[in-house]
A and B are shown apart, each in its own frame.
Chain A
Amino acid sequence: MYRYDSFDQQLVDDRVAQFRGQTQRFLAGQLPEDEFRSLRLRNGLYIQRFAPMLRVSIPYGLISSKQMRMLGHIARKYDKNYGHFTTRQNIQYNWPKLEQVPDILADLASVQMHAIQTSGNCIRNITTDHLAGAAADELVDPRPYCEITRQWATFHPEFNWLPRKFKIAFCATETDRAATRLHDIGVFIVRNAQGELGYAIYAGGGLGRTPIVAPKIRDFLPELDLLSYLEAILRVYNRLGRRDNMYKARIKILVKETGPAKFTELVEAEWAKIRDGELKLTAADFDRIRQHFDEHPYAADADADASFDAAVAADSAFAAFVKRNVKAHRVPGYKVVFVSLKAPGVAPGDITAEQMELVAQLADDYSFSEIRSTHDQNLVLAEVRQQDVYAVWKALKAHNLATPNIGLLTDLICCPGLDFCSLANAGSIGVSDEITDAFESMDDLYDIGEMKIKMSGCMNGCGHHTVGHIGILGVDKKGEEWYQVTLGGSAENDATLGDRTGPSFDRAHIVQAVERIIEVYLEQRSSEDETFLKTYRRIGMAPFKARLYADEAVAA
């Protein structure tokens, strides 16, 4: 866990005071509504369909047990007893009162949390692998790099009024779990041929209505040059990014219209002028940031435990949980335990105050008091001794948090949709409920295997539909909710945008369409080991299309 020092705390406290003043001036009629809107967005506060929505920042998805208890307290005191984890590893509250938000921010500041830059056209939360520090395939722990970037980006005076929002992700592993190339900047921590640590830089990726997989703009950036290079990219974007059309304002459009080669030239020219300036980092800077993170005292004899294997053998329900929700940890004798926020009948990512408190307690008892949030909208207890996994499972199960579906079809990700969001064209939570119902039998799930369904209620793509193995996009047609379907997307190393099946489906037929896609897959796969994605890439769209549009009446 990154621990604040007095400097971090002072900056967050100053921000609470600043926003309290802005809120007071707004409520007193001294601050125009459209200007207050820009300011509140930079503190995570939206005005949603029915009420304000507050988005709290969780830098790179890392939460302490104390912070999780505070999130529960806020859910009880200011909201309707629950919160919603997002695809950006943050948490949202759907029912706070505008005049209480400064108090909520003060409560958050008391546990080293905030809502800074969780919205607005500025640099947003920095994200990375939810298994950072625990993953065996990791080159280095990416979190100190994320933190040093978070600090640089926080209240950056030059980049607070960008053409559009700006998202940065880090990846330090062989398997990209952070959808890194779908960000405005994707930073891959790598070693060059000489064994030196540095970064491969990608720029201009993103989802939304023009989804683009980011091109690489630099093969290798030396470790100490990280911030000057980011600043060069942002400066080029701030100057040249389009401001005439909000749908063309993301950096991906600038990179595409300029051409990646020319864009790279502009960045390199800017960087050449600032690379040896004040932003040049030192090894001591990194050391100091690393010292803010806790060292975990792993037990040397954790691997001697035999009870875990015995429990897997004796209890088939536990074995099913272990198969899907428990992953290897880099330290022998430790396991990574996924807490599923995708129980049947629950909106993906939703969690009650009681559940937050339970997870906090489990983290204290078994996982060095830390929890992670994932961009698939689940939680992770990443550092559990294998001898304790059974007890953790029992406790999770008793609170409806142990659905063994991580990575499976019902582990779908989904935006709040028409139920909450003022941007949405169509409901998404209801459709996700029906899909979950339709595939409820666990046996079906195991048979189907790895499957990422991603659903968004509008073109903005908060549910990442374009990179779903099956993507579903809600569209409005003359006041009715319709759904476009894409196949074959992926957010991992082989990042790919899905292909549209054809005409969209109405509300009554969308779940049936998903069922038909699954049927075709099950019939066509070469073996149980061939995943949906592999099968799709082998056989292509035609067989799916033939089944989906067999009776024309359902689609339009």
Chain B
Amino acid sequence: MSLNLIRDRQLVAHDYPLLADDAALPASGTLTVTLARWRQDGEALRAPGLAVGVRIPNTVDVADVWAEVSDRPMINLEFPGFADGRAYSQARVLRDRYGYRGEIRASGGAVVRDQLHGMARCGINAFELRPDQDPQVCLGAFEDFGLAYQPAADHVTPVLRLRGRR
């Protein structure tokens, strides 16, 4: 598998592979299923020995699916194209509103060097890099900015508050 995974700013072995909707369930291990599959086979997917993450489409309102996925160890958000930023808001709602503490993983065509910093600020902590990305170059993305003007899900103290402390 050529897919590279960054988790918590470290390059790690790939896990939670995506299971096709019509593929048979393995007996054990980690895997990712679509929201549709999760809704269909939720009971079987909760079998001991399986760790299952759920991929939610970037068109859904997180409020509508939260109850179904809140106990999952991993929620997978879609970034299908460079310009489609809908999942940025989904990530913030998961972290800021619902206090989700599991892994939020970004996957898709926009998971590239130049978007990682913003994704991390919105609370995404795992990144399935697009195959053409150099993982070492990507790790540098988190250092692009040491300060932030606005609060976000990464709990960096915004400049407005830093000023108040001087």
Contacts and interface: CB of A to CB of B under 8 A. Distances in A.
* Chain B CB within 10 Å, residue with most, of A154, A155, A158: A158
Contacts of B117: 157
A352 interface: no
B149 A39 contact: no
Interface stretch (B26-34, B37-45, B88-96): B88-96
Nearest to B164: A284
B160 A151 contact: yes
Q: Is chain B's binding surface mostly helix, strand, loop or mixed?
A: loop
A235 interface: yes
Interface stretch (B4-12, B48-56, B69-77, B140-148): B140-148
A159 B149 contact: no
A121 interface: yes
A1 interface: no
Interface string A240-253: 00010000000000
Contacts of A30: 134
B61 to A, nearest CB: 7
A513 to B, nearest CB: 40
Pairs A-B, 5 closest by C-beta atoms: A161-B85, A157-B121, A278-B151, A157-B118, A151-B149
A35 B114 contact: yes
Contact of A235 (B89, B113, B145): B89
Interface of B: 61, 82-86, 88-89, 92, 96-97, 110, 112-115, 117-119, 121-122, 134, 144-152, 158-160, 162-164
A18 B113 CA distance: 11
Nearest to B124: A157
A2 to B, nearest CB: 13
Contact of B112 (A35, A162, A235): A35
A354 B55 CA distance: 59
A5 B114 contact: no
A227 B158 CA distance: 13
A162 B82 CA distance: 11
8 contacts: A11-B159, A152-B150, A155-B118, A158-B122, A161-B82, A238-B86, A239-B86, A278-B151
A284 B61 CA distance: 36
Nearest to B121: A157
A243 B122 contact: no
* Chain B CB within 10 Å, residue with most, of A8, A30, A155, A288: A155
A305 interface: no
B82 A34 contact: yes
A38 B158 CA distance: 26
B99 to A, nearest CB: 13
A22 interface: yes
Contacts of A235: 89, 92
A362 to B, nearest CB: 34
Contact of A155 (B84, B85, B114, B145): B145
Nearest to B91: A158
B144 to A, nearest CB: 5
A287 to B, nearest CB: 10
Given A10-B147, A11-B149, A160 B82 contact: no
A35 to B, nearest CB: 5
A156 interface: yes
A285 interface: yes
A10 B163 contact: no
Nearest to A11: B147
A7 B147 contact: yes
Contacts of B119: 157
B163 A158 contact: no
Contacts of A243: 83-84, 86
A239 B91 CA distance: 12
Interface string A1-19: 0000101101100110110
Contact of A22 (B82, B114, B146, B160): B114
Contacts of A238: 85-86, 88-89
A522 interface: no
A22 B164 CA distance: 34
Contacts of B164: 284-285, 288
A273 B97 contact: yes
Given A14-B144, A22-B114, A152-B150, A285 B160 contact: yes
A10 B113 CA distance: 21
Contacts of A155: 118, 145, 148-150
A160 B118 contact: yes
B89 A158 contact: yes
Given A11-B159, A156-B149, 6 more contacts: A14-B147, A157-B118, A157-B122, A161-B110, A235-B89, A288-B163
Interface in A149-177: 151-152, 154-162
* Chain A CB within 10 Å, residue with most, of B83, B84, B110, B122: B83
B152 A239 contact: no
Given A157-B152, A160-B85, A11 B145 contact: yes
